[in-house]
Amino acid sequence: MLSPTRAGHQQSRKAIMDKKIRVGIIGQGRSGRNIHVAALRRPLMREKFEIAAVTDLIPERCNETKAEFPACTVYPDYKAMLQDKSLELIVNASFSYMHVPISIEALKAGFHVLSEKPLAGCVADVDAVGAAAKEAGRVFAVFQEARFDSTFNKVMEICNSGVLGRIVMARFTRNNFARRWDWQTLREYTGGAFLNTGSHSLDQALKLFGDVMPDKMLCSIQRVNSFGTAEDHIKLLFTKPGHPTIDYEVTSCAVFSPPRYQIYGEFGGLTANPGTIEWKYYKPEEAAPQHLIKEPLPERKYCSEKLEWFENSWKDTGSRGADWMGEKLYMNLYDAIRNGAPLVVRLEDVRRQIAIIEECIKQYENENKK
């Protein structure tokens, strides 16, 4: 039988666990409204989170969220929101170049923080946010929801199963053809394809690559169809002994786009687009034994053998949009805040990603100064 003190402590703990996390969202634009509100309005999210406050530089943008969640408070600016101590979690969906300073301010004010990507344009800023989170003793997360993409996770499952053998190379692409002229094309606003759309594919590529930094990188960056100052075409190759070569491509210049994922393996390969995967492999234990022959083959023949190929396919039959991926990330965040669970997308993952992007952009800027 529990003592009254211990029983009271457990009841208090349960009350905290059952309590919804009150959320304040900074920004009601493409991310704040179309991604975060969209994710948090889903039935499962309503059991765990409550949209309690919003703010935006354009006040009228808050009206839709206020109409949908009448108890939500609309603040004139984020500084006023940070005075509301009834909130637990601040979602930082402000301009990209404000992600670091606002996140640090919110952490110092005692809130858990979820920052939109890109978190930062340099490693030093990532470290500054990490230090602020550690000092405040609060959870800090980055909204890299593509890590929860069902197609990507199925690709990882197939690669990890071993049926393809050692993964030799993996291609990740985010290609389309488009001209763009909004603020996210400006380098001074932490814009550009690398830090925005490209960060999703790079996060996935690094997850497959492994928890290390590459020791060889070759990157080509160009500004082609962008009206701003930042890049919209990227080709990046990186590798390290014992790890696959990563072929990463993000461009707004592709009228004909290749598959989103292509995996080259020792025993077979894989090709995938969102929602569909095909893979093919042979079983080495069933293949005819072969040995090296140094002499010319009879009748000038080439090496030839018949392998039995096994072919599989997968189709995602569920609803797997951005709001679903957001829901999965929010569930992980809830578990981190309430139970101390580890984040799936760790800050060290984001740091490694930013380190690669920073180095590539530095090379690009140095080349253009010549």
Which residues have CB under 8 Å from 124's CB, separation 6+? Answer: none
For residue 259, give Cα distances in angstroms to 199, 247, 277: 18, 12, 10
CA atoms of 193 and 296, how far apart (whole Å) = 51
Nearest alpha carbon to residue 173 among 263, 260, 81, 270:
260
For residue 219, give Cα distances in angstroms to 27, 236, 238, 250: 33, 4, 8, 12
pLDDT in tens, 64-78: 999 999 999 999 999
CA atoms of 33 and 54, how far apart (whole Å) = 10
Chain centroid to CA 350: 9
292-302 burial, b if ≥16 CB within 10 A, otherwise e?
eeeeeeeeeee
Whether the pLDDT of residue 47 is over 90: the answer is yes
What pLDDT does residue 327 have? 93
Higher-pLDDT residue of 363, 307: 307
CA atoms of 178 and 252, how far apart (whole Å) = 5
pTM: 0.89
What pLDDT does residue 9 have? 46
pLDDT class of 1 with cuts at 50, 70, 90: low
Cβ(139)–Cβ(333) under 8 Å? Answer: yes
Nearest alpha carbon to residue 265 among 130, 153, 350, 160:
160
- CA dihedral (123, 125, 131, 134) positive or negative: negative
Domains and CATH numbers, the chain: 16-146 (3.40.50.720), 150-318 (3.30.360.10)
pLDDT in tens, 238-259: 999 999 999 999 999 999 989 9
Whether the pLDDT of residue 98 is over 70: the answer is yes
Please provide the DSSP assignment of 290-320 as one string.
-----SPPGGGPPP---PPPEEEEEE--S--
What pLDDT does residue 282 have? 95
Give the residues across from 51 on adjacent strands: 23
pLDDT in tens, 118-148: 999 999 999 999 999 999 999 999 999 999 9
Q: How many CB atoms lie within 10 A of CB 175?
A: 19
CA atoms of 354 and 322, how far apart (whole Å) = 22
Average pLDDT over residues 160-178: 96
